Amino acid sequence: MASGPEEERARPEVDDDDDDDIPQLSSAAATALREFLEQRLEGEKGEGDKPELVAEDWRLSQFWYDDRTARELAAEVSLLASSLPGAAVACVACPTLYAYLKKGSPDVPARLLEYDERFGRYGGDFTFYDYNRPEELPPALKHAYRIVVADPPYLSQECLVKVAKTVSFLAPPEGSFLLLLTGEVQTDRVLQLLNVHPCGFKPQHSNKLGNVFRLFTNYDPADRLGGWDRSDGAHI
C-alpha cells in the first residue's frame, strides 16, 4: 500500500445476489495460462530476481508486500490480462505490485497511480494521484482500465469511499476485474461500495502489520488465490 495526505459520497448499495455482471475467466484458459505463469515465476525465484523498490516512507503509510504476496498478485493480474487482449492495468496506490508486474510481465500495459513522486522514475507509466481528489485524473484514463488493483492507504471509511470513486473513474461500467487489498475490518464497507468479496488468500507485508489484511475481488478466482471465502459471515 502507499498513500497521499489525509466530501464523502457513498455509492449506492449493490445487490450481491446479482452475479450477472461479474466477469468470469474460462476454466480451460485459466488453467493453461496459470501453468505458464507459474513456470515463469518459478524461474524468476530460482534466479532470485526481484524488482528494485524504493524505501518505504511510514509517514505516507507505505508498507510494501512481501515477495510471495507480490508474486502471486502479479501472476493473477497477468493471467487476467492474458484473457483480455489489449487490456490495461491500473495499480492504485500499490507500487509493489506494479514493480513485480513490470518485472515479470513487461508486455502487460500497466499504470501506477501514486502520491509519492519518487515513482516518477517509471516515466509515462506514472500518474500523480491524491486520494483526496479521487477524480482529478487525466481524462484519457476514464474507463480505460479493464483491470484495476487498488490498495487504499488508510483503513478509514473516508479513504475507502474516495478510492472507490477513483475505481469507478478508471474502470468501465461493465466487464472489468477489480482486486482490492485492505484491512479485514473493511469487509462490510467494501461489499457495499464496490460489491467485492474476500478471497482465501491473505496479503502479507515485508514489515509485519498489526491489522489482518484481505484480498477482495469482484469475480471468483475459483482455485486461484484461495477462491472466494465462503465461510460464515463472508456475505457471498
For 131-160, how does the pLDDT look when each residue is reduced to its tens digit (9 = 90+)? 999 999 999 999 999 999 999 999 999 999
Which pLDDT score, from 0 to 100, does residue 15 have? 42
What mean pLDDT do residues 117-135 have?
95
Q: Percent of the chain at pLDDT above 90?
A: 63
Which pLDDT score, from 0 to 100, does residue 69 have? 95
What pTM value is reported for the model? Answer: 0.79
Burial (0-12, 13-18, 19+ Cβ within 10 Å), 47: exposed
**Is residue 214 helix, strand or coil?**
strand
The tens digit of pLDDT for each residue in 184-208 reads 999 999 999 999 999 999 999 887 7
Cell (9 digits) for 120: 516518477
Q: How do 89-92 and 147-150 pair as beta strands? A: parallel
Which pLDDT score, from 0 to 100, does residue 235 have? 62
- Torsion (CA) 185, 235, 89, 25 in degrees, nearest 10: 150
Q: Walk me through the domains of the chain, giving residue ranges and CATH numbers.
A: 66-217 (3.40.50.150)
Please answer whether residues 138 and 90 qualify as being in contact, where contact means their C-beta atoms are separated by less than 8 angstroms.
Answer: no
| pLDDT over 60 (residue 48) | no
Cell 475490518, residue located:
185
Which pLDDT score, from 0 to 100, does residue 181 have? 97
Looking at 63-72, 82-91, 201-210, 218-227, which range is the least confident one? Answer: 201-210
Cβ-proximal residues to 63 (8 Å cutoff; 6+ apart), any chain: 1, 56, 205, 206, 207, 209
The tens digit of pLDDT for each residue in 81-97 reads 999 988 999 999 999 99
| pLDDT over 90 (residue 172) | yes
> DSSP for 71-93?
HHHHHHHHHHHHHSTT--EEEES
State the average pLDDT for the chain.
83
